[in-house]
């Protein structure tokens, strides 16, 4: 079941843009790569628990969870219709349409989007969403309100950097891409740019949970196998070459030349083809319990 809100678009900046390149990369995400930390909590709940996936993207995590917990119900919310359409199609493909629903909406209008479901969810979850929201504390307060007041869980996983922790080998074109990404998000510096991850526990405390109500940890992504590197590079090349994409327009707005973007494209392609190449991204995780 799918419903679409007519609410205004989100106020915050989604750095990579709502485009096919982003969609393909996010579709690679699943339970195993993104939220194993949450599985023990879900397994301890009654089988018919309710789960809100905020910023669900193309629904790859939502649908994977729905297949693992068939008696639970999963609601995905995302501000991009492109992602919502993909999520609905993926749920049908995976045979989980009966225990999933997807709604177009953004965090600042979440209470209105959810209606009478507000404050009823057993679990409210987001993955790599708060990094794109300027008022992260307010966003977590919203998530807190969407969960049951008496024991509802709020879970978040956020990267420690916004443009990659480690790329090896760090080819000149990839270093230039890191710098450009930093400029796009306003950091104006070379090298890795700090994401929300290091402050995630602080943000959760600021949202109103006590320290004893929060479990914090960390995990990583590592792209080293050919299919993983191919997925990553195709996404990077898609953003660098698609002149209609939000990312490309932001890049040009920094003053970068088209030939410089092509040098980044060639660097990513070379990186993919080298046997010794790999990359790692570290993410912080929190699970917060209401009550």
- The mean per-residue pLDDT over the stretch 69-84 comes to 96
Local structure of 127: helix, strand or coil: strand
CA–CA separation, 285 vs 126, rounded Å? Answer: 10
The CATH class that applies to domain 2-289 reads alpha beta
Higher pLDDT, 185 or 174: 174
**What's the pLDDT tens digit per position in 116-134?**
999 999 999 999 999 888 8
Residue 246: the pLDDT is: 79
pTM recorded for the entire structure: 0.85
Residue 24: the pLDDT is: 61
Q: For the range 274-279, what are the long-range contacts, defined as Cβ-Cβ under 8 Å and sequence gap of 24 or more? A: 274/169, 276/168, 276/169, 277/167, 277/168, 277/169, 277/224, 277/229, 278/168, 278/222, 278/223, 278/224, 278/229, 279/164, 279/165, 279/166, 279/167, 279/168, 279/222, 279/223, 279/224, 279/232
> Does residue 199 have a cis peptide bond before it, meaning omega lies within 30 degrees of 0?
no
Residue 9: the pLDDT is: 34
The CA-based diameter of the chain, rounded to the nearest angstrom, is: 56
Both structure tokens of 183:
């400029």
3 pLDDT exceeds 60?
no
Q: Which of 59, 134, 39, 142 lies closest to 104, judged by CA?
A: 59
15 pLDDT exceeds 70?
no
Residue 249: the pLDDT is: 87
Q: Where are the domains of the chain?
A: 2-289
Higher pLDDT, 82 or 209: 209
Q: Which of 126, 117, 282 lies closest to 204, judged by CA?
A: 126
Residue 266: the pLDDT is: 98
Residue 26: the pLDDT is: 64
Both structure tokens of 48:
């018919």
Handedness of CA 158, 57, 236, 169 (dihedral sign): positive
Q: For all residues of the chain together, what is the average pLDDT? A: 88
189 pLDDT exceeds 90?
no
């Amino acid at each position: 079941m799918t419903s679409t809100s007519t609410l205004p678009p989100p106020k915050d900046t989604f750095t990579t843009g709502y485009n096919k390149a982003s969609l393909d990369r996010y579709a690679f995400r699943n339970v195993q790569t993104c939220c194993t930390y949450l599985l023990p909590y879900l397994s301890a709940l009654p089988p018919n628990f309710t789960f809100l996936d905020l910023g669900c993207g193309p629904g790859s995590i939502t649908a994977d969870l729905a297949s693992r917990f068939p008696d639970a119900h999963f609601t995905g919310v995302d501000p991009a219709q492109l992602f919502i359409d993909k999520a609905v199609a993926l749920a049908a493909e995976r045979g989980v349409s009966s225990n999933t629903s997807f709604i177009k909406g953004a965090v600042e209008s979440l209470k209105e989007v959810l209606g009478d479901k507000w404050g009823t969810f057993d679990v409210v979850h987001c993955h790599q969403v708060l990094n794109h929201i300027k008022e992260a504390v307010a966003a977590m307060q919203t998530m807190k309100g969407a969960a049951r007041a008496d024991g509802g869980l709020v879970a978040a996983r956020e990267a420690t950097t916004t443009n990659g922790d480690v790329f090896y080998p760090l080819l000149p074109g990839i270093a230039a891409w890191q710098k450009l990404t930093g400029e796009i998000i306003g950091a104006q510096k070379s090298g890795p740019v700090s994401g929300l991850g290091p402050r995630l526990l602080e943000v959760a405390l600021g949202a109103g949970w006590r320290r004893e109500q929060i479990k914090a940890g960390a995990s990583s992504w590592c792209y080293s196998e050919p299919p993983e590197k191919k997925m990553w590079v195709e996404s990077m090349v898609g953003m660098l070459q698609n002149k209609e994409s939000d990312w490309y327009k932001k890049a040009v707005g920094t003053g970068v030349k088209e030939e410089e973007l092509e040098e980044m494209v060639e660097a990513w392609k070379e990186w993919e083809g080298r046997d010794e190449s790999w990359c790692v991204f570290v993410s912080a995780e929190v699970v917060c319990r209401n009550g």
